[in-house]
Amino acid sequence: MLYPYEIIEVKPKLNKKKVFFVAFILLAIIAISVFGVLQIAYQKKQQEIERAQIEEQAKLEEQRRQEEERLRIEEEKQKRLAIHTNPFTEEQMQAVENIYQAQETKRVFLTFDDGPTQAVTPYILDLLKQENIKATFFVLGNRAKANPELIQREFEEGHYIANHGYSHKYSQIYQNNQTVLDEYNYTEQCIQEALQNPNYHSKVFRFPGGSQGGYYHSIKKQANQYLRQNGIVSLDWNSLSKDAEGVNTKEELLQNVINTIGQKQSVVILMHDAADKILTYETLPDVIQYLRNNGYEFKNLYDIL
Ligand SMILES: [Zn+2]
CATH of the domain at 240: 3.20.20.370
Are residue 51 and residue 146 in the same domain, yes or no?
Answer: no
Ligand 1 midpoint to CA 113 (Å)? 5
Ligand 1 midpoint to CA 296 (Å)? 25
Instruction: Note the residue count of the chain.
Output: 305
Are residue 98 and residue 197 in the same domain, yes or no?
Answer: yes
Domain boundary among 85, 113, 134: 85
- Over residues 245-271, the pLDDT tens digits come to 988 899 999 999 999 999 999 999 999
Q: Could you give the residue ranges of the DSSP H alpha helices within 86-216? A: 90-97, 121-131, 141-146, 148-156, 170-173, 177-195
Are residue 244 and residue 298 in the same domain, yes or no?
Answer: yes
Decide if pLDDT at 205 tops 70.
yes
Q: Hey, is 139 helix, strand or coil? A: strand
- Over residues 40-76, the pLDDT tens digits come to 999 999 999 999 999 999 999 999 999 999 999 999 9
Q: Does the residue 262 lie in any domain?
A: yes
Ligand 1 midpoint to CA 43 (Å)? 71
Decide if pLDDT at 7 tops 80.
no
Considering its fold, how many domains does the chain have in total?
2
Neighbours of ion ligand 1 (CB under 5 A): 113-114, 208
Decide if pLDDT at 1 tops 60.
no
| Cβ pair 204, 217 in contact under 8 A | no
Ligand 1 midpoint to CA 46 (Å)? 68
Ligand 1 midpoint to CA 208 (Å)? 5
Q: Does the residue 81 lie in any domain?
A: yes
Domain boundary among 36, 61, 85: 85
**Domain that includes residue 262, residue range:** 90-304
Confidence of residue 21 (pLDDT cuts 50, 70, 90): confident
